[in-house]
Chain A
Amino acid sequence: MKNWLFPCLKLAALVFIAGQLCACALGEKENRRLLNKLDESFQPKSTAARVSCAPLTVVGGNVALAIDGVVINPVAVVPKAWDDTYELYWKPREADILRKSLMFPIITVLTPPTFVGDWALRAVFIGND
């Protein structure tokens, strides 16, 4: 029994932690694009309809939340992450050619990790503010 229980618990813990981390960005309404669409299109009016639809909606809503957190939000923040990186390193500034030449290799090396870090931060915590 222990053979399968431990990996399952580990997976559940990972999913839980990932869910928590995503929740930071998903806590903001504007970062829940798919869920917002579902909210707009599915609004049962009567209490009876709401109660009877709830079991399926709980599951469907969480699937939508997961898609928002794992797919849509991370993709949606790519342009913003690039904007941040551009602002930080590549935006034209007043500098002489020597300084620019010296800085060029440094910012070239720093660009990928900065972009990835910013993207991860935005995907998980900040969103597209």
Chain B
Amino acid sequence: MNRKTLSFALIASVMLLQGCAILNRDNTIALNWVEANLVPDSQPARGIAMPFVFTVGVAAVSADAFIIHPATVIDDAAEDTKDCLWEDFDWDKEYVTECASLPWRAAFTPIMFAGDWLGRSMFDITESAEKARQQLPKDVDLSRFQATIDEGRVEQGLKDLEKFEDEHRSAVNEDPTLRARISLIRLKACARDDYHPSIPTGFGFMAFHINREGVDPAVMAQIDQELNRMEASQDPAKRWIAYSVGFGGDAVLATFQRAMKDPDPVVRYLAVQRVGLSHSKDEPIRNALGAVATSDAEPMVRECARGVLNDDDSFMRLLQ
């Protein structure tokens, strides 16, 4: 391949890659201007002006691809680099580690910035962490989902809520209180007398995981109230959901002990599996598992507890 062909191939592939970004109208400022100002509205004038407009359009789209759009994403790339490399310092507890990380952070800053900027220049990556935060107001209104559920259309409300969560994934992940408010609606739906959720199998319990850190205490209090209601429910699936939320919190042992008093052996079995998955090395949990392994009324539960204590993979595989 001679130099001319190689250059052409390079330019063509860059143009193709650039296409990804310039396919979005938001990224073609110059072309938008040409469309708005240089294209005549009436037909004969439109046809006559076409050769001129087309030439200007090519120049505009090239300017968009190679100059304007890359220039406009510089601040996003800087923001990404700052978020990724220059935040989350813990100088109080990890002073030496943070000091040791400084040269590495500095060394990676230009690499990260250049890579991010190139990626954002070429592809249509419009969402930065800051933009994602801005996409939803702090107290975004979730009442429509609650209203649908209150009307008795629980499945529909939960489906809409899941769609909303998927559409605003990054904003939800960055706002613990918003995440907890979504979980609260989900829990309220599950706690309803006219709704009977199925017991989440496999890793399905993760849908109800609630991270309490950084959550508005008022929201957390409502969640705890719902969890208490669900634990007192006659429905084993509701009780299991309440326990599985507890297993993701701080009071794992207390939750486990309550779960082990549950009348339904399936709930007890699942609880043993669940603590086995993430807490089988904790001494207090092992002691509690030891008691279950010898004294639970259900042989299946005793066997499961013994399996977890013996680190038997087959019990864990059942979850996957």
Contacts and interface: CB of A to CB of B under 8 A. Distances in A.
B104 A61 contact: no
Interface in A29-86: 32, 35-36, 38-39, 42-44, 50, 53-54, 57-58, 60-62, 64-65
B313 to A, nearest CB: 8
A39 B102 contact: no
A23 interface: yes
> SS class of chain B's interface: helix, strand, loop or mixed?
helix
Interface string A78-99: 0000000000000000000000
A44 B95 contact: yes
Contacts of B104: 19, 23
A19 B107 CA distance: 12
B97 A39 contact: yes
Contacts of B93: 39, 43
B100 A62 contact: yes
Contact of B95 (A23, A43, A62, A64): A43
B92 interface: yes
Contact of A58 (B91, B92, B94, B103): B103
> SS class of chain A's interface: helix, strand, loop or mixed?
helix
Nearest to A54: B99
B280 to A, nearest CB: 14
A78 B103 CA distance: 30
Interface size on B, as a range, is: 10 to 19
Given A23-B104, A50-B91, A64 B99 contact: no
Contacts of B103: 58, 62
A47 B161 CA distance: 46
A58 B100 contact: yes
A57 B91 contact: no
Interface residues of A, number: 20
B96 interface: yes
Contacts of A38: 96-97
B216 to A, nearest CB: 28
A43 B91 CA distance: 8
Nearest to B107: A16
Contacts of A44: 95
Contacts of B100: 35, 57-58, 60-62, 64-65
Contacts of A58: 99-100, 102-103
A61 B96 CA distance: 6
Contact of B94 (A19, A39, A64, A65): A39
B107 to A, nearest CB: 8
Nearest to A58: B99
A50 B94 CA distance: 12
A39 B260 CA distance: 40
B43 to A, nearest CB: 61
Contacts of B94: 39
Interface string B99-117: 1111110000000000000
Given A23-B104, A38-B97, A64-B100, 9 more contacts: A32-B97, A38-B96, A43-B95, A54-B99, A58-B99, A58-B102, A60-B96, A61-B96, A62-B103
Give me the 4 closest cross-chain CB pairs, A-B, nearest first: A61-B100, A57-B99, A38-B96, A61-B96
17 contacts: A38-B97, A39-B95, A39-B97, A42-B95, A43-B92, A44-B95, A54-B102, A57-B100, A58-B102, A60-B100, A61-B99, A61-B100, A61-B101, A62-B100, A64-B96, A64-B100, A65-B100
